[in-house]
Amino acid sequence: MWLEILLISIFILINGFFAASEIAVVTSRRSRIKQLMEEGSKNAIVLNKLRETPDRFLATIQIGVTLAGAIASAVGGAAAVKVIKPLLKDVPIPIISASSEVIALGIVVAMITYFSLIFGELIPKSLALSNPEKLGMVTAPIIDKFSKIATVLVRILTMSTNILLKPFGKKAFTQREYISEEEIKLLLEEGREQGVFEPEEKKLIHSVFEFTDTFVKEVMIPAPQMVTIGITMSVEQVKSIISEEKFSRYPVIGKDINDIRGFLYAKDFFNILSSTGKVDIRKIIKPPIYTPETMKISILLREMQKKRVHMAIAIDEYGAVSGLVTLEDLIEEIVGEIRDEYDTESPVIQLGDGSMIIDASISIRDLAEDYSIDIPESPEYETLGGFIVTFLQKIPQTGDTVEIEDKRLKIIEMVGQRIAKVKLEQLPKETLEETF
């Protein structure tokens, strides 16, 4: 009897070994395995080989689990007949004594199943999940050797499964070699919740993904807001603009904004002015660089790096100038707004009563990402001012208001026909209740 119990225990533990090995190999991180391989670990090489051949590995695991379970059950069945059946036959209850063999088998099966679940599945898998790489390094060489011993069975299992799955257009144990962008974002969120990533780290990585999906027109300075220098301006006029605006580069225009002659570098202007006392900007401007407003900024960044330029003119589908984009604008999409001592006030100013003064040229996306202010998005507009004009369906005027959800937007400053400043106020609860 004790020999049977010992054998059953051994094969349950063998079952647990295979179960733990499966979890350890499957959940081991590629990056950690690669690191261990670079450190010269031979077991890590074997572990990586098992991960790279999931069909062979999983077939090996299944053979091991099946054999261990079958042998444990067979030994248990023999023990039931040999030990438990005679005991049940002596029970003075007719139904039990008459069915002693069936009941004995049932008792043994229930006991083996219970201990198999605890010691052959749950505990080994839990241990494997807690440190998969460490356990995988220990079990991988043994699994690899067992796979070579059972190579014929492994091949038969793999081939049979592939043949049966062929009508469904699938292959057994297909390994996906990629992880989607959405899955990475979910991992980032889980990492932030568990304290692995700081909020700023998560935001930075998230910005990298958004970067590849962002178009020039979403980050450019609109044409009406471009600071330009006229080709016919005097030296004093140019000096005045540069001194006031504090930019390092300026588009130079001819008769209008669509007549871009080139880019003037403030450094070149002042160097020549200090050495000669006069400047003809037509001789020192750099050729303009153009980009479609529908180009993705990730592509534009590579182009600007290749051409070693810091500024490009965005054009629309009709070839008209729609805006200006700088290298700083592109970098800010990843790291956030870069402000220096010459920058103007923040586009969003918080007032003491909880309301805000907002620059109407700020993009809807920046409002949401940088200030957690949600405004409905639409292909019809990019900025807060564009949203208000679209909502009003008329030429805007100072004092016009728009109410959305729990917010009231009020135009407080116009520059010509353009909305310059907007005041955002939270609607009182009473107003919201009346609305609904």
Render pLDDT for 315-324 as a digit per residue (tens, 0 to 9).
999 999 999 9
Cα–Cα distance, 26 to 319 (Å, whole number): 54
Mean pLDDT, rounded, for 42-66: 86
What average pLDDT does the chain have?
A: 84
Residue 305 lies in a domain: yes
Higher pLDDT, 98 or 220: 220
Domain match, 56 and 150 both:
yes
Mean pLDDT, rounded, for 61-74: 85
Residue 342 lies in a domain: no
The tally of CA atoms less than 13 A away on the side-chain side of residue 382 is: 16
> Is the CB of residue 212 less than 8 Å from the CB of residue 191?
no
Q: Which of 155, 151, 291, 314 is nearest to 220 (CA)?
A: 314
Domain match, 145 and 23 both:
yes
Domain match, 234 and 249 both:
yes
Q: For residue 318, give the DSSP letter.
A: T
The tally of CA atoms less than 13 A away on the side-chain side of residue 247 is: 18
- Check: pTM over 0.75? Answer yes or no: no
Q: What is the pLDDT of residues 181-211, one digit of tens each?
A: 666 667 667 766 777 667 777 677 777 878 8
Confidence class of residue 93 from pLDDT cuts 50, 70 and 90?
low
Domain match, 155 and 206 both:
no
Question: Which residues, in sequence order, are CB contacts of 353 under 8 Å at separation 6+?
Answer: none
Domain match, 132 and 192 both:
no
Residue 174 lies in a domain: no
Instruction: Give the three-class secondary structure for 426.
Output: strand
Beta partners for 349?
357
Cα–Cα distance, 351 to 358 (Å, whole number): 11
Q: What is the pLDDT of residues 233-261, one digit of tens each?
A: 999 999 999 999 889 999 999 999 999 99
**Tokens 């909020």 identify what position?**
199
Instruction: Give the three-class secondary structure for 385.
Output: helix
**Tokens 């900024």 identify what position?**
297
Cα–Cα distance, 147 to 60 (Å, whole number): 6
Q: Which of 297, 326, 330, 292 is nearest to 212 (CA)?
A: 297
Residue 377 lies in a domain: yes
The confidence score (pLDDT) of residue 343 equals 55
Domain match, 32 and 163 both:
yes
Given 335, 365, 399, which residue is the final one in a domain? 335
Domain match, 186 and 125 both:
no
**For residue 402, what are its two tokens?**
């728009």
Domain match, 93 and 113 both:
yes
Domain match, 291 and 385 both:
no
Given 290, 306, 335, which residue is the final one in a domain? 335
At residue 433, does pLDDT exceed 80? no
Residue 340 lies in a domain: no
The confidence score (pLDDT) of residue 272 equals 94
Domain match, 42 and 152 both:
yes
> Is the CB of residue 386 less than 8 Å from the CB of residue 379?
no
Q: Domain range for residue 44?
A: 2-168
> Is the CB of residue 418 less than 8 Å from the CB of residue 400?
no
Question: Which residues, in sequence order, are CB contacts of 198 under 8 Å at separation 6+?
Answer: 192
Q: Are strands 290-292 and 311-315 parallel, antiparallel or unpaired?
A: parallel
**For residue 124, what are its two tokens?**
């080994």
Question: Which residues, in sequence order, are CB contacts of 170 under 8 Å at separation 6+?
Answer: none
Residue 248 lies in a domain: yes
Cα–Cα distance, 213 to 365 (Å, whole number): 12
Q: Are strands 401-404 and 356-359 parallel, antiparallel or unpaired?
A: unpaired
Domain match, 274 and 297 both:
yes
The confidence score (pLDDT) of residue 267 equals 94
> Is the CB of residue 266 less than 8 Å from the CB of residue 248?
yes
Cα–Cα distance, 104 to 76 (Å, whole number): 10
Given 335, 359, 379, which residue is the final one in a domain? 335
Residue 425 lies in a domain: yes
At residue 180, does pLDDT exceed 70? no
Confidence class of residue 405 from pLDDT cuts 50, 70 and 90?
confident
Domain total for the chain? 4
At residue 371, does pLDDT exceed 50? yes
Domain match, 156 and 240 both:
no
**Tokens 């534009």 identify what position?**
300
Residue 266 lies in a domain: yes
Cα–Cα distance, 139 to 137 (Å, whole number): 6
> Is the CB of residue 257 less than 8 Å from the CB of residue 271?
no
Mean pLDDT, rounded, for 62-91: 73
387: exposed, middle or buried (Cβ count in 10 Å: 0-12, 13-18, 19+): buried
At residue 268, does pLDDT exceed 80? yes
15-37 per-residue burial string, b: 16 or more CB within 10 A, e: under 16: bbbbbbbbbbbbebeeeebeebe
Cα–Cα distance, 322 to 249 (Å, whole number): 18
The confidence score (pLDDT) of residue 154 equals 74
> What angle separates helix 100-117 from helix 2-27, to the nearest 10 degrees?
40
CATH number, domain containing residue 252: 3.10.580.10
CATH number, domain containing residue 426: 3.30.465.10
The confidence score (pLDDT) of residue 436 equals 42
